Structure 1
């Protein structure tokens, strides 16, 4: 009798563990950067709503890629530094977000960019946003030596960071894209280094006048690079493959192009 009881208990425990593992496999946390990642991730703090609305290019793509799955997705937003900290396995075991192979650094941001989707979402290009009456051009990185540029706190600038670290290029750091563009207006630097899509979105969605700025091509310093969906190490490979296939379908149907145009108008 005791053997039968023991086997029954072991079977119950095994089923419980399997059930728990399956439940975890079907749950993901979507990590969002609050207030610095527009138009990739937009947190709309509408006072009439109990919870903020999450939208943006990356958010819309991630929601679309999981729409027909059985995954329970929880969205959480944090300031950039805490966003990176929340990617630690003990903090958030199974998360999804976005990253780029161009952002791999030795400064603690590897988690965001270490495990990326096979299919890229799109490529981004950079510009130097200057005052309209500025005649400054960038033909090589040396053109920036001895100059002060405006950047975002905590962000990585491939092709530029090492010159800033070496003291060849100076920087003024600000907390948001709108603050950066206002810093351009007040002459705190020769210009703001930004992704073109982010600069256009900010200008179009604030009281700033597009005609007050010039977008100087910055490809000679920061070459265009791809954006991917990123995953924590604990996300099952099968789920990543499902998301990858959905991304491919979204690209083939031009849905991703439509999402981008909806936010930046190009």
Structure 2
């Protein structure tokens, strides 16, 4: 009898451990550079388009463990395997671990723009217009369609750690520098830093960086039932108009 009780207790502990693991997901967040998709605060509060979608999907169903890292370090963590059943966001255009296993539906369509200082008369029509400009780009992010121009020396790049630094360079070098970034992130960061958009000139840059969709990106070894649950929840959020509401809240 004692042996039976011991076996049953062991089984219950194993089941409890499995349940705890199956009801927990690991969400990876880029620190400081991913607003408005992922927004973090000093008191460890999370918001933003992707973070709000994650919160809605797993609300009352799973425990979300947040892992916040600078971009390059986050990618290194994920390429090394990451925590079990991890999720973040990605795109087929980005390659590597952020493209290996994506949600069935996209969550947003990304476009890129050129931001220049309004004091400059700069206007973009083709590559010849930007050959003498300093391209301000964020550390860590790759731009595959720009890389051949960077490698050949046609484009002179200047990497910065955040948006505040990018805006400062545009203000100090109005006739020489241009900032290339996602349109949504430019607009959001200008707003939160109380920058007036009329002080800058925003031009579409889809000729060199075409628009593309972004998705939720999953652990390549994610539990199949969990991935099915996420995709179903994401579809329900889209059908209910919740995805559009979340996006419109930030952009």
Query: Could you tell me the TM-score, scaled by structure 2's length?
Result: 0.89
Report the counterpart of residue 229 of structure 2 in structure 1.
Answer: 242
228-237 vs 117-126, greater mean Cα deviation: 228-237
* Count of aligned positions: 250
Match of 2:94 among 87, 103, 112: 103
* Aligned match of 2:200: 213
Distance 2:39 2:240 in 1: 24
1:196 equivalent in alignment to 2:208: no
What's the CA shift for 1:135? 3.3
Q: Output the aligned Cα RMSD.
A: 2.4
Distance (whole Å) between structure 1 residues aligned to residue 36 and residue 192 of structure 2: 10
Q: Is the 8 A contact 2:133 2:178 kept in 1?
A: no
Q: What TM-score do the two structures reach when normalised by structure 1?
A: 0.84
Partner of 1:28: 25
CA displacement at 1:167 relative to structure 2: 2.3
Which sits farther off after the overlay, 13-22 or 215-224?
13-22
> Is 1:148 aligned with 2:134?
yes
Deviation (angstroms), 1:85: 2.1
1:204 shift after superposition: 0.9
Q: Which consecutive residues of structure 2, in runs of 5 or more, have no partner in the other structure? A: none
Pick aligned residue for 1:56 from 37, 48, 54: 48
Change (3 A) 1:164 1:11: farther
What is the CA deviation profile of residues 219-244 of structure 1, one whole-angstrom value per residue up to 9, with x for unaligned ones?
10000011100111232122112111
Q: Distance in 1 between matches of 2:120 and 2:98?
A: 36
- Offset at residue 42 of structure 1 (A): 0.6
CA drift of 1:119 comes to 0.5
2:154 aligned partner: 168
**2:110 aligned residue:** 124
Q: Are 2:92 and 2:98, in contact at CA under 8 Å, matched by a contact in 1? A: no
In 2, Cα distance between equivalents of 1:225 and 1:245:
23
CA contact (8 A) 1:25 1:235 kept: no
1:54-81 deviation line (CA, Å, top 9, x unaligned): 1111100111111142x21111211112
